[in-house]
Amino acid sequence: MNLLLLTPEDCPEPGMARLNGRRLQHVQEVHRARAGETLRVGLLGGLMGEGRILSLSRDELLLQFVLDTAPPPKLPLTLLLSLPRPKMLKRILQSVAAMGVERLVLMNSFRVEKSFWSTPWLEPQSIREQLLLGLEQARDTVLPEVLIEPLFKPFVEDRLPALCRSSRCLVAHPLAEVACPVAMNQPLTLAIGPEGGFIPYEVEKLVATGFEPVHLGPRILRVETAVTALVSRLFV
Residues 10 and 127 in one domain: no
How far is 60 from 51, CA to CA, in rounded Å? 15
Residues 114 and 88 in one domain: yes
- Supply the mean pLDDT for the chain: 95
What's the pLDDT tens digit per position in 128-167? 999 999 999 999 999 999 999 999 999 999 999 999 999 9
Q: Phi then psi for 141, rounded to 5 degrees?
A: -125, -5
Residues 216 and 100 in one domain: yes
- CATH assignment of the domain containing 58: 2.40.240.20
Amino acid at 179: A
Residues 91 and 31 in one domain: no
Return the pLDDT at 219. Answer: 87
Residues 101 and 179 in one domain: yes
pLDDT at residue 204 is higher than 90: yes
Residues 24 and 126 in one domain: no
Residues 57 and 115 in one domain: no
- 178: closest CA among 207, 155, 150? 207
Residues 47 and 111 in one domain: no
Give this prediction's pTM: 0.94
With cut-offs at 50, 70 and 90, classify the pLDDT of residue 218. Answer: confident
Domain boundary at 32, 47, 69, which? 69
Helices (H) and strands (E) in the chain, counts: 7, 11
- CATH assignment of the domain containing 147: 3.40.1280.10
Residues 44 and 120 in one domain: no
Residues 19 and 61 in one domain: yes
DSSP E strands: which ranges in the chain?
4-6, 16-19, 38-43, 48-56, 61-69, 75-82, 101-107, 145-149, 168-172, 188-192, 212-214
With cut-offs at 50, 70 and 90, classify the pLDDT of residue 233. Answer: very high
- 164: closest CA among 187, 196, 182? 187
Return the pLDDT at 127. Answer: 97
Residues 153 and 47 in one domain: no
Residue 71: DSSP 8-state: P
What is the count of structural domains for the chain? 2
Residues 93 and 191 in one domain: yes
Q: Which domain holds residue 79?
A: 75-234
Domain boundary at 69, 89, 119, which? 69
How far is 208 from 202, CA to CA, in rounded Å? 10
How far is 13 from 15, CA to CA, in rounded Å? 6
